[in-house]
């Protein structure tokens, strides 16, 4: 699989996300995803499914070093001691000695960013995370986080799909060698029904969903998270590396962005977004 180099991390360009997947669902579908070829797996403490993710990885025949595993620290564990303890809890649930990527899940917190970033650095130095990063950070906070970290940050995981312009966030990431990991690429079910994306897909013998995923990974330094609990959709999501969108098609998809395109916007967790 194509990988995205990100300040020392080599992140598989297509990941399997587990947001809103209960443990029984994870145990049913993740082994099939791994068997199909998915090697980038994304979870988080707040998802409540780290133990199931760990079981699926441990029971697969894939060596742990061949899996790129991401988890995230929730906002109530951002104090230094809490963050370090929470990582130990995650590792126990995930049945592993380390994660490949550890992220701060959201930016808004009473805990100074320097303390949060410092704790992430300690986790790396302890060998419990290979790489660290941020999630849902705007461009200005990305700059601040980069300036505070001794260890280069690997990614900023953000909402990104054809209806949302993330030019500023992507630019800030590229400036410092970070990748951008896109979640909600299907825009909460809107993408598969989109007429333009379906027409572009028809020209390539692909679905609208495959077009959106391809649009993400075809951009420099971008990683796409896919998600499904349906086995038949796994292969559809995985088969995006055997075609390429034309420059015209890429620009047509970029032009779909709308001022009100953002879907995920919790006021208690997010800082002001970029215009």
Give tens-digit pLDDT for 59-101. 999 999 999 999 999 999 999 999 999 999 999 999 999 999 9
For 191, residues 6+ apart whose C-beta sits below 8 A from its C-beta are 161, 162, 185, 197, 208, 209, 212
Q: Contact at 8 Å (CB) between 164 and 261? A: yes
What is each CA distance from 184 to 75, 209, 216, 226, in whole angstroms?
Answer: 20, 11, 11, 8
Q: Which two tokens stand for residue 156?
A: 């900023």
- 161-176 pLDDT per residue, tens: 999 999 999 999 999 9
Ordered DSSP codes for 31-90: HHHHHHT--EEE--GGGT-HHHHHHHHHHSSS-GGG-EEEEEE-GGG-SHHHHHHHHHHH
Q: Contact at 8 Å (CB) between 110 and 80? A: no
* Catalytic one of 47, 98, 160, 163: 47
Q: Contact at 8 Å (CB) between 57 and 64? A: yes
Q: Contact at 8 Å (CB) between 118 and 139? A: no
| Angstrom distance (rounded) from CA 13 to CA 228 | 17
pLDDT for 275:
80
φ, ψ (nearest 5 deg) of residue 132? -130, 160
184 is catalytic: no
Q: Which of 130, 179, 171, 172 is nearest to 151 (CA)?
A: 130
Greatest Cα pair distance in the chain:
54
Which CATH superfamily groups domain 3-187+219-228?
NADP-dependent oxidoreductase domain (3.20.20.100)
Average pLDDT over the chain reads 97
Q: Which residues of the chain have pLDDT under 70?
A: none
pTM exceeds cut of 0.85 = yes
Q: Is 105 annotated as a binding residue?
A: yes
**DSSP summary character for residue 137:** -
| Angstrom distance (rounded) from CA 148 to CA 157 | 18
What is the β-pairing status of strands 3-6 and 9-12? Answer: antiparallel
């Amino acid at each position: 699989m194509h990988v995205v180099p990100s300040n020392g991390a080599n992140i598989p360009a297509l990941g399997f996300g587990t947001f809103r997947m209960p443990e029984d669902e994870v145990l049913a579908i993740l082994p099939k995803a791994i068997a199909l070829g998915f090697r980038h797996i994304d979870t988080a403490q707040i998802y409540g499914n780290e133990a199931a993710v760990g079981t699926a990885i441990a029971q697969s025949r894939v060596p742990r070093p061949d899996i790129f595993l991401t988890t995230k620290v929730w906002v109530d564990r951002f104090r230094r001691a809490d963050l370090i303890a929470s990582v130990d809890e995650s590792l126990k649930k995930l049945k592993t000695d380390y994660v490949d990527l550890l992220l701060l899940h959201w930016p808004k917190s009473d805990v100074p960013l320097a303390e949060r970033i410092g704790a992430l650095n300690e986790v790396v130095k302890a060998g419990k995370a290979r790489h660290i990063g941020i999630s849902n950070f705007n461009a200005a906070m990305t700059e601040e986080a980069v300036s505070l970290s001794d260890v280069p940050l690997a990614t900023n995981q953000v909402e990104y799909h054809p209806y949302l312009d993330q030019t500023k966030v992507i630019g800030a990431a590229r400036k410092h060698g970070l990748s951008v990991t896109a979640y909600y690429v299907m825009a909460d079910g809107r993408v598969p029904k989109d007429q333009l994306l379906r027409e572009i897909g028809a020209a390539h013998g692909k679905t609208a969903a495959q077009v959106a995923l391809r649009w993400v990974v075809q951009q420099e330094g971008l990683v796409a998270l896919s998600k499904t609990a349906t086995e038949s959709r796994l292969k559809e999501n995985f088969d995006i590396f055997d075609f390429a969108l034309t420059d015209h098609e890429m620009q047509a998809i970029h032009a779909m962005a709308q001022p009100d395109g953002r879907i995920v916007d919790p006021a208690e967790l997010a800082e002001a977004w970029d215009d």
